[in-house]
Structure 1
Amino acid sequence: MTAVAAEADSVAAGLGPGGAPEVPLPGGFTLRRHAGPSAVVDVLAAGVGPAAAATATATALAAAALRAPAPPRKSPVRPYDLVVSAGIAGGFAPQAPLGHVVVADALVGADLGAETGDGYLAVEELGFGRSVHPVAAPLAARAADALARGGQPHVVGPVLTVSTVTGTAGRAAELAERHPGAAAEAMEGFGVAEAAAAYGVPVIEIRAVSNAVGPRDRAAWRIGPALDALRNAFRLLGSSVFPTVLVDSEESPS
C-alpha cells in the first residue's frame, strides 16, 4: 500500500519486470497484481493521509475476503498474509540518513491524542483507542536481514504517522522527544495498520528516506534516490521475506 503512483511504480518495479494485471476494486481503486514464482503481491496507491490509507486498505481487504474460500467454522477470515505500508518519508536525524530504508518496528499514530496545558496526551492516556501497532519482531528482523544481505543501507525503528508534515525544527524535536528512537515520519502507516488489524493481518511499514524531518527545504530533498532505494528494497524483500511469510501462514494452524 503506497500513497501515490510514483511510490507504487517503484514498488512494482522492485517486484519484477513485465506488466502486472490490474484488478478493479470498489470505490474506483485498482490493484496491480504481481504473481511471482512463490508469492503474489498486490500493489495499491491509496492516496495521501491516514484516512485515505485506511479506506483503501480496508477496501482491498474486504474485496479479498469476499473472494476467499469460506474459512473453517469459527476461524477468522484472513484475506492476505501480510499488509505492507510503503513509500518515501522524512527521516529523523541522525538515526535515518537520506537514502536509507527504514523498517518499522512500530507504526505510530503520532498526533492521535490531545494537547493539554501539561503537554501532549496519547489516546491511550485519554482512556480510549490505541496509537501504536507493534510489528512482530521476527518479521521486522527478517526484513532488516534481507536488506542487510542485499547491501541496502537501512535502520529499524518506529515510523510515525502524522496528518500534517513536520516543517520546523521545534516540531521535529518535540516528536523525537515524545517518541524515543523514532526513525521516520510519513502520513499513511497507522491508517494501513488500523485496517489490517481489523482483519487480523500482520502489518509492516517500509520507508525510503528522501528528506530530513524538520524545516522544509525542498532543495535538499532527494526524491529520486529515495524511490530508487524503495525499488531496491522491494527487489530484496520480494525474493525472500514475502515467500517466507506465505510459508509461515500456510504452516500456522487455522
Structure 2
Amino acid sequence: MTLPLLVVTAVAAEAEAVRAGADPTHVVVEPVGVGPAAAAAGTARLLATGNYCAVISAGIAGGFVGRAPVGSVVLGVRSIAADLGAETSDGFLPVDELGFGTSVISADPALVKALAAELPDAVVGDVVTLSTVTGTQATADRLAKSYPQAVAEAMEGYGVAVAAAGLPFAELRTISNPIGPRDRGAWRLKEAFAALSTASGRLWTACG
C-alpha cells in the first residue's frame, strides 16, 4: 500500500486551497504555523505520529521580479534560510561561513522531477526562507544579488526541510506578489490560492 503524501502549509487558508485540489485518498494536508520554527515543530509532530512517503511545504509566496511573476507556480530545488547568520560591518554573513552548519537544504531530486513533470509550466529554482518578509527595495536587491537562483521567498520551507530529516522533501509555492516595497493593492491572493488549488490536483502522483 502506497503511503500518503504529507503537505504542510503555514495557515488554514493555504491548507484549504490545497485540499480543494488534492486527492484526499493520497494527500494529507495540515497547517503547521507561520515561520521556520513553528513549521519545523509542527511538521516534526506530524511525522512522529504518522507514516508518509514524502513532505511538501506548500503555500503562497513573494516572487523575485523578473524570475517568478505573480500568478506563477514555483518548485523549490533548494530551501535557503536567508537570514540565518550574522550581521557584520561588511554585510550579512551566512551561518555556513561561520562554520555553524548550513543554511541550504536541497529538495529530493526525484520528487522535484516528478512534480515538474506534472507541472511543466512551473518556475524551478531556489526558495529563500525568511522570518521577516521583505518590505524594501534595498532588501529585495540584496537578496536577488546574494541568491541569483532564488525565484521566491516564503517563511517556512527551511523549517519543514529540517524536520523532514531524510524523508523526500520539496517546496511548492504560488506567487501572490512581487517581493520588495509592500503594496497590498498589488497582491493577487485570490489568484494565488486558485493556482495553488490547481497545482495541488497533481500532487497525488508525487509518491508514484
Offset at residue 124 of structure 1 (A): 1.1
Assess if the C-alpha contact under 8 Å between 2:71 and 2:192 holds in 1: yes
**Which stretches in structure 1 are left out of the alignment for 5+ residues?**
17-33, 65-78, 245-254
Give me the whole-angstrom Cα distance separating, in 1, the residues matched to 2:32 and 2:207: 24
Q: 1:174 aligns with which of 142, 147, 150?
A: 142
TM norm structure 1: 0.77
Quick check: 135-144 or 174-183, which moved more?
135-144
Name the residue aligned to 1:2: 9
Quick check: 216-225 or 131-140, which moved more?
131-140
Q: 1:12 aligns with which of 16, 19, 43?
A: 19
Q: 1:190 aligns with which of 158, 178, 190?
A: 158
Assess if the C-alpha contact under 8 Å between 2:63 and 2:70 holds in 1: yes
Instruction: Verify: 1:63 aligned to 2:49, yes or no.
Output: yes
Assess if the C-alpha contact under 8 Å between 2:54 and 2:207 holds in 1: no
Name the residue aligned to 2:200: 234
Assess if the C-alpha contact under 8 Å between 2:27 and 2:203 holds in 1: no
**Which stretches in structure 2 are left out of the alignment for 5+ residues?**
1-7
Name the residue aligned to 1:90: 62
Give me the whole-angstrom Cα distance separating, in 2, the residues matched to 1:136 and 1:109: 17
Give me the whole-angstrom Cα distance separating, in 1, the residues matched to 2:95 and 2:52: 28
Structure 1 or 2, whichever has the larger Rg, is 1
Q: 1:45 aligns with which of 31, 38, 44?
A: 31
Higher relative contact order (CA 8 A, sep 6+): 2
TM norm structure 2: 0.93
Give me the whole-angstrom Cα distance separating, in 1, the residues matched to 2:116 and 2:78: 14
Matched positions, count: 201
Assess if the C-alpha contact under 8 Å between 1:147 and 1:237 holds in 2: no
* Structure holding more strand per residue: 2
Give me the whole-angstrom Cα distance separating, in 1, the residues matched to 2:128 and 2:184: 21
Instruction: Verify: 1:206 aligned to 2:192, yes or no.
Output: no
Provide the secondary structure at the position in 1 that maps to 2:49: helix
Name the residue aligned to 1:76: none
Assess if the C-alpha contact under 8 Å between 1:100 and 1:209 holds in 2: yes
After TM superposition, the runs of 4+ consecutive aligned structure 1 residues lying more than 6 A away are none
Could you report, residue by residue, the CA deviation over 1:120-155 in whole angstroms, capped at 9, with x for unpaired residues?
Answer: 21111111121111113232122112112xxxx420
Provide the aligned C-alpha RMSD in A: 1.1
Could you report, residue by residue, the CA deviation over 1:181-201 in whole angstroms, capped at 9, with x for unpaired residues?
Answer: 21000000111011112xx21
